[in-house]
Amino acid sequence: MHNLLLAEIAVDTDSHVTIWGVSLIALAATIAIRVAWASRRGDTDLRTIIGKAMAGAWIAPALAIVAAIAFQSGSSLTPRQAPETDYEARSTNTRVVIDGHNWTRQTLVENDETGRPILRTPIASTPHSTVDDARREALDLAARRLKYEVERVYGRAGDWELPGELLKNQRFITDEITTTRPYKLSALAPSSDMFHCVVRLEVSAASRNWAARHWKQRVGTSRLKTIATITALLCLLVITTHLYLRLDVASAGAHRGKLQLAALAAVAASGLAASTILSA
């Protein structure tokens, strides 16, 4: 069901892109016909109409600028499906079992007061030379594990981070311990004690909802900014086209070249500003 929902979202996004493209082409054709019709003087042969339509030739590079901005922002609007396997950090996560701490051995499944499952899973860091580095990596791996739970529901669109230290502050890290083990850096080097940090993460409805708020705040804000930027760029294109036609008709085409240059410069400057905003 989840995969089907993501597929439908992707199809809807593709259809919106297609509608935008067709709309822009229709706009360009309408402008060309409008210019040719307004400036014709009883001569309706094909060659003359095409020549008159060249008055709106600036619209082609303007549309290319808008299309480039829309293409640039497409990746942040299209959800990408989460991996079918477990979270990406699992393959690199080393299982560290510490004597006297049975919670490091396996994942426990409990039920909360409403009967919903709560997973308490141990997550260990790789060997590190300092305690702080080992602890930081363990918390980051726990955050990536919780991120995976959110992305299974909302998709992977957008670039968002979930600070591992916040998990500790929110008490979703229920246990934490650091130990040392001998580790050989190379075949020729002697063994030296390296630090491993093991934390136990609570994966529950509460922790998922908490992480989802970070997703919505970061990705939702980014998507709103993207949609607002593209909408503003399209509105500017329509306004520029309207002003160009009004001035061109009022001047009887005497300053057509200058107006085309001014219109294209305005759209190009707006496209540059929009690209800078989207890439920030």
**pTM for this entry:** 0.56
Percentage above 90 pLDDT, the chain = 11
Query: CA-to-CA distance for 223 and 157, rounded, in angstroms?
Result: 9
The predicted-structure confidence for 175-223, as pLDDT tens digits, reads as follows: 999 998 888 776 676 778 899 999 999 998 889 889 888 888 877 777 7
Q: Are 29 and 53 in contact (CB under 8 A)?
A: no
The pLDDT, as a whole number, for residue 11 is: 41
More confident: 266 or 48: 266
Q: 27: burial class by Cβ within 10 Å (0-12, 13-18, 19+)?
A: middle
Q: Are 175 and 108 in contact (CB under 8 A)?
A: no
81's tokens: 């499906």
The predicted-structure confidence for 141-164, as pLDDT tens digits, reads as follows: 999 889 888 888 777 666 778 888
Partners of 111 in beta bridges? 117
Phi, psi angle pair for 179, to nearest 5°: -135, 165
Query: CA-to-CA distance for 40 and 79, rounded, in angstroms?
Result: 49
Query: CA-to-CA distance for 169 and 101, rounded, in angstroms?
Result: 22
Domain ranges of the chain: 2-80+223-279, 90-219
The predicted-structure confidence for 117-134, as pLDDT tens digits, reads as follows: 888 999 999 889 899 999
Average pLDDT of every residue of the chain: 76
The predicted-structure confidence for 77-97, as pLDDT tens digits, reads as follows: 665 555 554 445 444 456 788
Burial pattern 214-253, b for ≥16 Cβ within 10 A else e, equals: bbeeebeebbeebeebbeebbebbeebbeebbeebeeeee
